[in-house]
Amino acid sequence: MDGPTKHTTRNNNTLDYQLRSGPLQGRMVKGQKVTIKRLETAQSTKDPEGPPMYMVSWLEPTGTCVTQVLNLQDLEINTTAFFPDWVTKEPQKTVCFQNDHLDEILSYRNIGPTYPIHHKVMSGEIHFVEDCLVKDENIVNVNASTPMQ
């Protein structure tokens, strides 16, 4: 379930994202509600206030629970995800622009199976960071082709 992801933090509690490789390549979500917390870290010799690190957590309509720690100084991202069994067995059911298929996704989740939960830990590099306008609708391109369209 790992691979490059394009994230856009829209505000202090909303995220858009697009998965760019792996079994979930093509999955896109806009307006995912998240919790974002700046982490207070031990003092570093590089920066006495510590590197800018954030924890971002969310629960998807699929039943997947995700937590990411972003280190913006070292451009590192660490992700822990808990996938319901149905997502692990049939990931292609989630490869779509989720906002247009929410009822279908919720139906798959409710049918399950949910258990066992599959835990995955991933690490990666952040390749690009920029400030964008809060309501920039062009960050995640929903016109990209996905299997459910």
Residue 22 confidence (pLDDT): 80
Indicate which CATH number applies to the domain containing 87: 2.40.128.20
* DSSP track, 57-92: EEE-TTS-EEEEEEETTTTEEEEEEEE-HHHHH-GG
The identity of residue 22, as a single letter, is: G
Structural domain including 13 reads: 5-125
Residue 105 confidence (pLDDT): 96
Question: Mean pLDDT across the stretch 84-88?
Answer: 97
The residue with greater pLDDT, 2 or 81, is: 81
Report how far apart, in Å, the C-alpha atoms of 117 and of each of 23, 41, 129 are: 17, 30, 32
**Total-model pTM:** 0.78
Closest by alpha carbon to 75, among 123, 41, 35, 112?
A: 123
147 has pLDDT over 80: no
- Quick check: is 95 in a domain? yes
- Quick check: is 70 in a domain? yes
